[in-house]
């Protein structure tokens, strides 16, 4: 077995990314270890990327079909390597308008797309100690929460993109998004869908 944490991250076409996750019943040492593995995998992935930040990860992305999400506390400060842990997260209310913006995913290598998401959501979850908490997420945090909860429901961001033409991007050598050539880059990798 690989000792590299980022090697735990699975990617499409792995069928487990299309399955619904189970709720966590009791927070055991095994659950705590899964959370640790998720954070390690996210940070290791980030440490090996020139222009990207690992902002969040859902347990299905390390091939564990449980409703667990970790989200970075500060998206702007790469030195802050602390994460908020959401166990059994649920969106209790969608608010605001739907806004289209770029998303990428650790489980969909090097592909980005414009995805419509609500600009504000209300969320409830359990923390690592099993205590319920609620919060309101707006802007980028709302987008991240929706993206990660989608993973626990077997949905990936590309599922929200209806018109594939001119909808997908990749990072160039300078870290800027550039459109993918649909025929050459996307259709050739159709197995992702």
Of 110, 107, 105, nearest in space to 64 by CA: 107
CA distances from 176 to 14, 51, 65, 119, 128 (A): 28, 9, 33, 24, 36
Pair 68, 31: CB distance under 8 Å: yes
Catalytic residue among 46, 90, 103, 148: 148
Pair 41, 77: CB distance under 8 Å: no
> Does the annotation mark 76 as catalytic?
no
Residues marked active site are found at: 148
């Amino acid at each position: 077995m690989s000792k590299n944490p980022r090697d735990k991250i699975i990617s499409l076409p792995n069928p487990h990314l299309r399955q619904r996750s189970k709720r966590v019943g009791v927070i055991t040492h095994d659950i705590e270890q899964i959370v640790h593995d998720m954070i390690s995998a996210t940070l290791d992935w980030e440490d090996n990327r020139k222009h990207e930040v690992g902002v969040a990860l859902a347990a299905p992305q390390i091939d564990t079909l449980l409703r667990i999400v970790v989200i970075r506390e500060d998206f702007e400060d790469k030195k802050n390597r602390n994460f908020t842990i959401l166990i059994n997260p649920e969106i209790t209310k969608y608010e605001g308008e739907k806004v289209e913006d770029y998303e990428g995913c650790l489980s969909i290598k090097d592909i980005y797309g414009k995805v419509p998401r609500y600009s504000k959501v209300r969320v409830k979850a359990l923390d690592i100690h099993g205590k319920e908490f609620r919060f309101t997420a707006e802007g980028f945090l709302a987008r991240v929460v929706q993206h990660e909860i989608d993973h626990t429901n077997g949905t990936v961001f590309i599922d929200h993109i209806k018109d594939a033409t001119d909808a997908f991007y990749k990072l160039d050598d300078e870290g800027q998004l550039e459109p993918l050539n649909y025929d050459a880059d996307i259709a050739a990798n159709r197995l992702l869908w």
